Structure 1
Amino acid sequence: MFALSKVLRRSQSLRLGACNAVYSKLDIPLGERNIAIESNALIHDKHEALPRFYELSWSSSTGRRSLSSDAGAKTTGDDDDLEDKNVDLATPNETSSDSEDGEEFSGDEGDIEGAELELHVPESKRPSEMFKAIVSVSGLSVGSALDKWVEQGKDTNRKEFESAMLQLRKRRMFGRALQMTEWLDENKQFEMEERDYACRLDLISKVRGWYKGEAYIKTIPESFRGELVYRTLLANHVATSNVRTAEAVFNKMKDLGFPLSTFTCNQMLILYKRVDKKKIADVLLLLEKENLKPNLNTYKILIDTKGSSNDITGMEQIVETMKSEGVELDLRARALIARHYASAGLKEKAEKVLKEMEGESLEENRHMCKDLLSVYGYLQREDEVRRVWKICEENPRYNEVLAAILAFGKIDKVKDAEAVFEKVLKMSHRVSSNVYSVLLRVYVDHKMVSEGKDLVKQMSDSGCNIGALTWDAVIKLYVEAGEVEKAESSLSKAIQSKHIKPLMSSFMYLMHEYVRKGDVHNTEKIFQRMKQAGYQSRFWAYQTLIQAYVNAKAPAYGMKERMKADNIFPNKRLAAQLAKADPFKKTPLSDLLD
């Protein structure tokens, strides 16, 4: 039995006797969320009753067992969790294009790596010439760039293509990477392997949606539809917080006879971390039952879960368990711990971790600078932000630039953030939309509307591809400026874009503004557009919608039926809200009429 389970037993009791829990009171963190979330919402999945995680066995000898969200599961949804966002984007001169699917670099989000999909061989230290050729062309002309590459007689071996593909993926250029796989399929440069099919499945799901990914699986030769293909599909369902489809893929993998892996369990941990933290204990017990040992990524997910719930004691217990199991903290884990200490107001503990990360020489540990800038900015340590940036300033890396802009914004030094931005403009003939978007975030946070508008115009004039993060900042900027029509127009443009999916928060900014005005018609319109964009209806989305009816003093006909159809059932607070908007509620006058 794993030491992690011993930690579980030492903590407060959960509903599972075997999982008395570091995970029993995982409330939604309300700190810096842009949208109100009901922390004890009840979301029921009323499909066929299937065994809970703790009743499961993956072993085929025990008969069929499945995974399902059962009725009565407490759920706290958060579609804005950003997993695996802090990617290494190289230097500005190396990268001139933007993410085509809206997965822009955010600069200071906690980096939780669920697990690597192992779709590619390790990247060569030598920069890929093919990658440079692909990003040097304007627009998304990947096919023409590769045609030219072949005409020039350059290497077309698997290793060269894999190196270019990995660099595209690391920079979140998923649209270009997908076009590259399409070109390879048309030109038959080498024989396809399972990981090639899995890679294309992953890119289709990211760029065009998981439903297109599922359709693509049917075209893959059966001999190549192995565990890697299905774990890739599972990871993409988890990325969209789609509980039903993720659980369906989980069960499908079992039915196909694939062995349960730590990767698969980590994906379910990521999913339940977002939508149903109480079920994390079930996943851990399944790991234990199948004799699978938690890996580094498992611990990082658990560290973030406890830290984001402000349960610092629980987080520290997990770290101690991790160490006792011989699993070493990596940079990402240390940065995560420092962020959670900082958000809990434990500045001394946060700074101690940061100093450990830095080591004796920050110049020698230059790769730490991005995280140091981010956390020191959160801690309002102007002296440390300036000290770290001074080391990077002469020859800054791209991710350091983004982190520095946000850090200076957090310490209210907007002029310094602008100076970093101007430095980037001088360093590169074409600046990624990511750089514009992080400065725009600074302007939004400081309510600098006119400066934000000027930056948007500058960005448009520069010919940047605008991704989801930038649209999100633009929409919030217009809402806070009181220009709701422009905000809604921007949302429409983002929805119509072929290469991005607007963030859920982009819809919620507008919903909250219409709710404030008691505008039921427009609140409903944005609610429906959010569903059409592929976001599942969540408890707090209905909570916001019903509040519009309450503010408008209008009856919400059929609301209970709508919620039931989406498998959402009210708790006491929402029931009280519904009662206020009930078209058939009793009044003193109705009592007289009766």
Structure 2
Amino acid sequence: MFALSKVLRRSQSLRLGAYNAVYSNLDIPSGERTGAIVTNALIHDKSEGFPRFYELSWSSCTGRRSLSSDARAKTAGEEDEEELENGNSDLATPDQTSGDSEDEGDTEGAELELLVPGSEAGKLVVGSRSSELFKAIVSVSGVAVASALDKWIEEGKEINRTELANAMLELRKRRMYGRALQMTEWLDEHKQFELEERDYASRLDLISKVRGLYKGEVYIERIPESFRGELVYRTLLSNYAATSNVRKTEEVFNKMRDLGFPLSTFACDQMLILYRRVNKKKIADVLLLMEKENLKPSLNTYKILIDIKGLMNDITGMEQILETMKSEGVELDLRAQSIIARNYASAGLKEKAEKVLKEMEGESLEENRHVCKDLLSIYGFLQRADEVTRIWKICEEKPRYNESLAAILAFGKIDKVKEAEAIFEKILKMGHRVSSNVYSVLLKVYIDHKMVSEGKDLVKQMSDSGCSIGALTWDAVIKLYVEVGEVEKAESALSKATQSKQIKPLMSSFMHVMDEYVKRGDVHNTEKIFERMKQAGYQSRFRAYQALIQAYVNAKAPAYGMNDRMKADNIFPNKGLAAQLAKADPFKKTPLSDLLD
């Protein structure tokens, strides 16, 4: 069992008892830069010895606890044709990662677990070869998956579990969830083999991603009770955590305990992912629970904690966690190294970042091509033009798709727009249908360099190509209109994106438009975008309330009922937001009001 120590907090002299050494390094400051600040919210059910998670109600002065609001975060379906979709964090530069990030790659491990779940869901082995079934599925249009599978069978080919797992893995890696769901529906209809719990869990995951979590819960009721086990509920838990729906995530977590499932590191990791985004004060509660239940942190747990430290810009704390990992014999994987390098880069520690990047590269970059994407991205952020150029020379003779996208962004960061354009043209000539996201990454480069006319021409070219527009592309188009001062066109584009049944707009798409109205002190339109954002499923967002309140401040207008609205959404003010609220308080005292009193 791992060594124990205590948890320290910078903001409180609160001793929380014995903890693992890694937990003791997770200090949570009162002045954190993102998320809400509240006191601990673990409530112990008197009928059980097990702590139950609930969300705190509004209280700026006391530690009163209550159930969270009943707001349900609904998710729209999305499908993309390639690897970069909806703010994929794999290609995010360090300055793009924040507590409000829409997609931080948290569910990656959960998704792959549905395919190779280890001990609890079977002994399925996924091969390393490229899936022929996957190639058949992507060779047709997005709505013709069934026809591709029918043709596969007509040609006398077999769909066994190994072939299915390889195809599903390829589809999930590229976030082509719509196609993956169609494949599961076809398999269910044609009864290719007896379904197991992992099959139901996989389909639940896809339904939740494509059609929304409400539909996912409806589907659970259709699963035979004998297959409605821990893996199914863990899948639902991870999806709710990914949407930052506090009430539903905690509800599912507690239900799993009520059903008698043993507490797992995976389930606790999902709570850490949730609280990392919405309430960092409650992270300590999860860690205390893990220590109490003798749950040893997984590699994924460590990566979440490292990421949290990076968001807090606490590099010392991050390094202490790394020391603990080393002492526990836990080895870093590529993903962990990438997070560490990004955190160093974001903190301005270029030498440390580059040291990690060299370790990732190894002795031969030609043999470690899989790291090129991350190297290009982080070296681009560091503005190391020599390294970006060196790495791309290794890739450009036979470039991979994700490397090419990373290179476009990296060359944009080092102000080599012509090189970025050349890579874009090379992708267009790769010989397969080009995703809208290829256009969106170059569009981002144009926006960063204020190349408005080039950006508009690219949007027209994208439209003429006939490719579907994904969330990332809509985001770039909306930002482009805002940059040139055409906020009405930006709002129109946002409305079109919101009405699309194929994608869910990024939160940043709403914020581009909202922030512009905030600058103008336009309370009416700020409120309108705020409500659209909530309707799209972005519930209880701290960043959105910051902007909304600032609109009232800029308009010199009283924000009636704002405290109650925030209370209903379980948003808790830090010092900065409290100061904003005071400025917009309709009942605040003034010298004149004192005289009148």
* TM-score w.r.t. length of structure 1: 0.87
**Do 2:11 and 2:30's aligned partners in 1 also have CA atoms closer than 8 Å?**
no
Q: Deviations over 1:453-494 (max 9, x none)?
A: 111111121122221111111111111111112111111111
Cα separation, 2, equivalents of 1:584 and 1:328: 56
> Which residue of structure 2 lines up, in the alignment, with residue 209 of structure 1?
212
Cα separation, 2, equivalents of 1:360 and 1:249: 46
Q: 2:556 aligns with which of 536, 553, 557?
A: 553
Cα separation, 1, equivalents of 2:466 and 2:88: 16
Letter in 2 for 1:262: T
> Which residue of structure 2 lines up, in the alignment, with residue 128 of structure 1?
131
Q: Deviations over 1:153-200 (max 9, x none)?
A: 221333322221221111100011111112222222221111111011
Instruction: Note if 1:108 corresponds to 2:92.
Output: yes
> Which residue of structure 1 lines up, in the alignment, with residue 517 of structure 2?
514
**Do 1:112 and 1:301's aligned partners in 2 also have CA atoms closer than 8 Å?**
no
> Which residue of structure 1 lines up, in the alignment, with residue 530 of structure 2?
527
Cα separation, 2, equivalents of 1:73 and 1:340: 33
Further displaced range: 377-386 or 151-160: 151-160
Q: 2:114 aligns with which of 115, 119, 122?
A: 119
Q: 1:68 aligns with which of 54, 64, 76?
A: 54
Letter in 2 for 1:133: A
What secondary structure is seen at the aligned counterpart in 1 of 2:253?
helix
Further displaced range: 231-240 or 111-120: 111-120
Q: In the TM superposition, what is the alpha-carbon distance from 1:70 to its structure 2 partner?
A: 3.2
**5 Å matches for 1:44-63?**
51-52=42-43, 62-63=48-49
> Which residue of structure 1 lines up, in the alignment, with residue 146 of structure 2?
143
Cα separation, 2, equivalents of 1:107 and 1:356: 19
Cα separation, 2, equivalents of 1:295 and 1:576: 40
**CA separation of 1:63/1:293 partners in 2, compared to 1, >3 Å: closer, same or farther?**
closer
Cα separation, 1, equivalents of 2:45 and 2:402: 43
Q: Deviations over 1:124-174 (max 9, x none)?
A: 223222211111112421122222222332213333222212211111000
**Do 1:478 and 1:486's aligned partners in 2 also have CA atoms closer than 8 Å?**
yes
**Do 2:9 and 2:29's aligned partners in 1 also have CA atoms closer than 8 Å?**
no
> Which residue of structure 1 lines up, in the alignment, with residue 444 of structure 2?
441
Q: In the TM superposition, what is the alpha-carbon distance from 1:288 to its structure 2 partner?
A: 1.7
Instruction: Note if 1:358 corresponds to 2:357.
Output: no
> Which residue of structure 2 lines up, in the alignment, with residue 88 of structure 1?
none
**CA separation of 1:144/1:43 partners in 2, compared to 1, >3 Å: closer, same or farther?**
farther
Letter in 2 for 1:247: E
**5 Å matches for 1:226-265?**
226-265=229-268
Cα separation, 1, equivalents of 2:575 and 2:89: 39
Cα separation, 1, equivalents of 2:30 and 2:572: 19
**CA separation of 1:13/1:583 partners in 2, compared to 1, >3 Å: closer, same or farther?**
closer
**CA separation of 1:428/1:305 partners in 2, compared to 1, >3 Å: closer, same or farther?**
same
What secondary structure is seen at the aligned counterpart in 2 of 1:66?
strand
**Do 2:10 and 2:30's aligned partners in 1 also have CA atoms closer than 8 Å?**
no
Cα separation, 2, equivalents of 1:458 and 1:403: 21
Cα separation, 1, equivalents of 2:126 and 2:32: 37
Structure 2 unaligned regions, length at least 5: 64-78, 95-103, 116-123
Letter in 1 for 2:487: V
**CA separation of 1:566/1:357 partners in 2, compared to 1, >3 Å: closer, same or farther?**
closer
Letter in 1 for 2:16: G
Letter in 2 for 1:17: L
Q: In the TM superposition, what is the alpha-carbon distance from 1:342 to its structure 2 partner?
A: 1.5
Q: 2:389 aligns with which of 379, 386, 390?
A: 386
Structure 1 unaligned regions, length at least 5: 31-36, 76-94
**CA separation of 1:101/1:430 partners in 2, compared to 1, >3 Å: closer, same or farther?**
closer
Q: Deviations over 1:290-323 (max 9, x none)?
A: 1111111111111111122221111111111101
**5 Å matches for 1:456-471?**
456-471=459-474
Further displaced range: 387-396 or 442-451: 442-451
**5 Å matches for 1:416-427?**
416-427=419-430
**Do 2:237 and 2:270's aligned partners in 1 also have CA atoms closer than 8 Å?**
yes
Q: 1:273 aligns with which of 271, 276, 291?
A: 276
**CA separation of 1:348/1:557 partners in 2, compared to 1, >3 Å: closer, same or farther?**
closer
Q: In the TM superposition, what is the alpha-carbon distance from 1:215 to its structure 2 partner?
A: 1.4
Q: In the TM superposition, what is the alpha-carbon distance from 1:563 to its structure 2 partner?
A: 2.4
> Which residue of structure 2 lines up, in the alignment, with residue 2 of structure 1?
2
Give the percent of matched residue pairs that are identical in Structure 1 and Structure 2. 73
**CA separation of 1:420/1:578 partners in 2, compared to 1, >3 Å: closer, same or farther?**
same
**Do 1:99 and 1:171's aligned partners in 2 also have CA atoms closer than 8 Å?**
yes
Q: Deviations over 1:194-230 (max 9, x none)?
A: 1111011101111122121111111111111100000
**CA separation of 1:42/1:458 partners in 2, compared to 1, >3 Å: closer, same or farther?**
same
> Which residue of structure 1 lines up, in the alignment, with residue 66 of structure 2?
none
Q: In the TM superposition, what is the alpha-carbon distance from 1:237 to its structure 2 partner?
A: 0.5
Letter in 2 for 1:379: L
Further displaced range: 442-451 or 244-253: 442-451
**CA separation of 1:583/1:300 partners in 2, compared to 1, >3 Å: closer, same or farther?**
closer
Q: 1:397 aligns with which of 380, 396, 400?
A: 400
> Which residue of structure 2 lines up, in the alignment, with residue 97 of structure 1?
81
Cα separation, 1, equivalents of 2:353 and 2:39: 38
> Which residue of structure 1 lines up, in the alignment, with residue 76 of structure 2?
none
What secondary structure is seen at the aligned counterpart in 1 of 2:52?
coil
**Do 1:268 and 1:283's aligned partners in 2 also have CA atoms closer than 8 Å?**
yes
Cα separation, 2, equivalents of 1:377 and 1:357: 16
> Which residue of structure 2 lines up, in the alignment, with residue 15 of structure 1?
14
Q: In the TM superposition, what is the alpha-carbon distance from 1:554 to its structure 2 partner?
A: 2.7
Q: Deviations over 1:227-275 (max 9, x none)?
A: 0000000000111111111111110000000011111111111111112
Letter in 2 for 1:116: A
What secondary structure is seen at the aligned counterpart in 2 of 1:218?
helix
What secondary structure is seen at the aligned counterpart in 2 of 1:518?
coil
Cα separation, 1, equivalents of 2:372 and 2:296: 32
What secondary structure is seen at the aligned counterpart in 2 of 1:169?
helix
> Which residue of structure 2 lines up, in the alignment, with residue 568 of structure 1?
571
> Which residue of structure 2 lines up, in the alignment, with residue 175 of structure 1?
178
Instruction: Note if 1:306 corresponds to 2:312.
Output: no
Further displaced range: 486-495 or 421-430: 421-430
Letter in 2 for 1:15: L
What secondary structure is seen at the aligned counterpart in 2 of 1:168?
helix
Letter in 2 for 1:97: E
Cα separation, 1, equivalents of 2:237 and 2:387: 41
Cα separation, 2, equivalents of 1:200 and 1:100: 22
What secondary structure is seen at the aligned counterpart in 2 of 1:427?
coil
**Do 1:104 and 1:467's aligned partners in 2 also have CA atoms closer than 8 Å?**
no
Q: Deviations over 1:540-564 (max 9, x none)?
A: 3223112222222333333333223
Letter in 2 for 1:299: Y
* TM-score w.r.t. length of structure 2: 0.86
- Across the aligned residues of Structure 1 and Structure 2, the Cα RMSD in angstroms comes to 2.9
What secondary structure is seen at the aligned counterpart in 2 of 1:568?
coil
Q: Deviations over 1:348-402 (max 9, x none)?
A: 1111111122122111222121111111111111111111110111001111111
**Do 1:104 and 1:469's aligned partners in 2 also have CA atoms closer than 8 Å?**
no
Q: 2:221 aligns with which of 213, 218, 222?
A: 218
